[in-house]
Amino acid sequence: MKTRKTIRILPPGLKNQIAAGEVVERPASVVKELVENSLDAGATRVDVTVEGGGRALILVQDNGQGIPADELNLAVTRHATSKIASLEDLSAIGSFGFRGEALPSIGSVSRLTVTSRAEGAEEGAFIEVRAGEVAAEGPAAPAAGTRVEVRELFAATPARLKFLKAESTENKRCQDTLMRVSLAHLAAGFSLTMGGRESFRLPQGQALAARLQTFWPPAVCRDLLPFDAERDGYRAHGLAGSPATAQGRGDRILLYVNGRPVQDKMMLSAVRQAYKGRLISREYPQVALFLEVPPAEVDVNVHPAKLEVRFLEENRVFSVIRSGILQALATLEQPGAALADDFPAPGHAPFSPRPGVSPTWLPSAAEPGAEPAPAAPAKAMRRPSGASGFGDGPKFPSYREYQAEYRPPRDLPLPVAPPPGGGDAPAMAPFRPVGLGEASVSARLAGTDFTYLGQVADTYLVLRRGRDLVLVDQHAAHERVLLAAMREARTRGDCQPLALPLELTLHPSEAEAVQEAWEALRAQGFRLEMDGPARLLVRAVPPTLDAGEAREYLADVLAEKARTLDDLWTMLSCKSAIKAGQPLAVDEALSLLETWLATPEKDYCPHGRPVAVTWSPADLERLFKRK
């Protein structure tokens, strides 16, 4: 039988250790708490130094109001604060810290030294705390403001220490934390030094877009759209990214409530709802969203680290956020907006494998004598607003120029025969049926019950299966085929050398991104070389890409639109696939369709769009309102 233990009050040291578990999760948590304390003290300059990933040292120096010498001891005592005094204050909190737990919690798991001189005081004071106990205190002569040193974090709590990640990972989290705080306080200046090297320095009074340029790649920052919406005392403002610059992860959706960085599912849902119909699956926009609500209508005291909040009027919050984002996106649709066309101009050369390159879907026994369809006259294409600005090489249309949003083919006119005289149908590419002499032989897909009828709009392949009509998106089908082939030989790393290397000038965030993706890019066939800290040389590219396509692909990688190796393969399959608006000869179309039908997961492209749309006779009757 289990022995009953008596109820007892926990000793102070153990209380502080438990409290620290709520507040001090990792070094980035310490940076957040100390920087927010500085801002609460009215600091206009905050300098942060991190050593050893935060384990060895976290130093935060500010020029705020400072702490009077006779209050330093209280500052490291639990539940001692100058920010609230009554229950009424708790219901309308306007500061970041208010519980009085940060400094004592940090001091219980580290060696903490606080040195401060209050405004107007002739001298300052210091206090040192070790494992929750005051070890030393006395006078000091610092500059006005407060200096907090945290050394040997978690040294006395090895159980907590073992859960920390590598130094580079903890450094990155500290940087991300200071970045998020700095975006909400543009009037203040910030700096971060890690490992003896200054990571960034932000001047006071920066605009939001200028500050984001320090952290986000240029390709993303060029297309940020401002918004500012207000409704019933609730205001949502900030910057929203163009759908053309969406990426494969949501870490650039930054949410704030009354200047406080938060993680809120309802706010995120409002952002996603505003982009609905503009993004395909697994894509996330870039958004810096600042929500201002009356303090009495938001509860910031529902999470130990103050990362979550609770709203009194959730519907109002959802509505004003959605309205703000839609306001930004509406500017894309205004005349004169720098937008790419939904589809590229007709006139791309018919698909053919490059000399010496074995295509992944064209069988060796291609039908002889098939003549490629003639290409329409080419027209100049606008450079997409989200395209890379690297170098002066040829500009190629991005995926979203011709596939910005999936539109069901049923919206396209589908003539049953070519226009009289063989001319093009107005405002669309002609429908090219398979010749009657070929229909009984070459148009039948081997080993299937599908019959190929032709191509419409130089984009969709028309099939008949029994009594059903099927349209296949040639780009989406080829994407799926290429991705399957790449996965099968994903580590081979075949490449084609370039006579002259591509030269890319890198933003600091891009230099970091290319280092993270280095091995994955090598497995794909890229041969890269760093020429200094901010210059990348590309000496070889995958066989499926030419130099211009490789440049555009790398621009997407550097903008962190892909996170895993499989994401990179997906992007590469998109860049390598035949394009919408590209005429296909009969043998090319048949070869693609036969290979696609034998490909796993063939119903959807790698981005989640449908590859084929099918109409049964009943569907057609409904479309023509026969029933």
For 546, counting Cβ atoms within 10 Å of its Cβ (0-12 exposed, 13-18 middle, 19+ buried), the class is middle
Q: Is the dihedral of CA 74, 78, 84, 88 positive or negative?
A: negative
Q: If you average pLDDT over residues 87-99, what whole number do you get? A: 54
pLDDT tier for residue 148 given thresholds of 50, 70 and 90: very high
pLDDT at residue 475 tops 80: yes
pLDDT tier for residue 491 given thresholds of 50, 70 and 90: low
| Tokens matching residue 456 | 């419409």
Q: Which amino acid is at 123?
A: E
Question: Which among 315-329, 411-425, 592-606, 609-623 has the top mean pLDDT?
Answer: 315-329
Per DSSP, the three-state class of 56 is coil
Distance CA 30, CA 20 (A): 10
Distance of CA 440 to the CA centre of its chain: 50
Per-residue pLDDT, 559? 80
pLDDT tier for residue 337 given thresholds of 50, 70 and 90: very low
Q: If you average pLDDT over residues 72-97, what whole number do you get? A: 64
Residue in the block written with tokens 């396209």 = 412
Per-residue pLDDT, 604? 87
Distance CA 586, CA 369 (A): 10
Whole-structure pTM value: 0.64
Residue in the block written with tokens 């060895």 = 56
Determine contact, residues 37/150, Cβ cutoff 8 Å: no
pLDDT at residue 469 tops 80: yes
Determine contact, residues 24/132, Cβ cutoff 8 Å: no
Per-residue pLDDT, 608? 79
Per-residue pLDDT, 336? 46
More confidently predicted of 568 and 68: 68
pLDDT at residue 546 tops 50: yes
What is the per-residue pLDDT across 357-407, written as a single tens digit (0 to 9) for each? Answer: 333 333 333 333 333 333 333 333 233 333 333 333 323 333 333 233 323
Strand order across the 133-140 sheet: 133-140, 124-130, 111-117, 145-151, 57-62, 45-51, 189-194, 197-202
Lowest mean pLDDT among 8-17, 449-458, 525-534, 565-574: 8-17
What is the per-residue pLDDT across 44-60, written as a single tens digit (0 to 9) for each? Answer: 999 999 999 999 999 99
Per-residue pLDDT, 385? 34
What is the per-residue pLDDT across 237-260, written as a single tens digit (0 to 9) for each? Answer: 999 999 888 888 888 999 999 999
Per-residue pLDDT, 86? 54
Q: If you average pLDDT over residues 340-367, what whole number do you get? A: 31
pLDDT at residue 112 tops 90: yes
Distance CA 211, CA 299 (A): 29
Q: If you average pLDDT over residues 507-519, what whole number do you get? A: 87
Per-residue pLDDT, 563? 65
Per-residue pLDDT, 30? 94
Element (H, E) at 622: helix 617-623
Per-residue pLDDT, 574? 85
Per-residue pLDDT, 136? 94
Per-residue pLDDT, 455? 92
Name the nearest CA neighbour of 29 among 190, 215, 187, 153: 153
Average pLDDT, the chain: 78
Residues near 407 by beta carbon (within 8 Å), at least 6 away in sequence: none
Distance CA 303, CA 210 (A): 32
Distance CA 452, CA 578 (A): 18
Scored b (16 or more CB within 10 A) or e, 253-267 reads bbbbbbbbbbebeeb
Q: Which amino acid is at 49?
A: T
Per-residue pLDDT, 388? 32
Q: If you average pLDDT over residues 159-171, what whole number do you get? A: 87
Per-residue pLDDT, 11? 76
Distance CA 114, CA 107 (A): 10
What is the per-residue pLDDT across 173-206, written as a single tens digit (0 to 9) for each? Answer: 999 999 999 999 999 999 999 989 999 999 999 9
Distance CA 413, CA 419 (A): 12
Determine contact, residues 404/243, Cβ cutoff 8 Å: yes
Find the distance separating the first CA and the last CA of the chain, reported in whole Å.
Answer: 76
More confidently predicted of 336 and 256: 256
CB count within 10 Å of CB 168 equals 12
Question: Which among 85-94, 313-322, 570-579 has the top mean pLDDT?
Answer: 313-322
| Tokens matching residue 396 | 């190629």
Q: Give Rg (Cα) of the chain.
A: 30
Residues near 167 by beta carbon (within 8 Å), at least 6 away in sequence: 52, 53, 55
CB count within 10 Å of CB 76 equals 24
Determine contact, residues 538/528, Cβ cutoff 8 Å: yes
Biggest CA pair distance of the chain: 100
Lowest mean pLDDT among 1-15, 285-299, 523-537: 1-15
Name the nearest CA neighbour of 605 among 180, 282, 345, 186: 282
Per-residue pLDDT, 101? 75
Name the nearest CA neighbour of 184 among 29, 290, 293, 72: 290
pLDDT tier for residue 1 given thresholds of 50, 70 and 90: low
Determine contact, residues 456/473, Cβ cutoff 8 Å: no
HEC readout, 301-362 = CCCCCCCCCEECCHHHHHHHHHHHHHHHHHHHHCCCCCCCCCCCCCCCCCCCCCCCCCCCCC
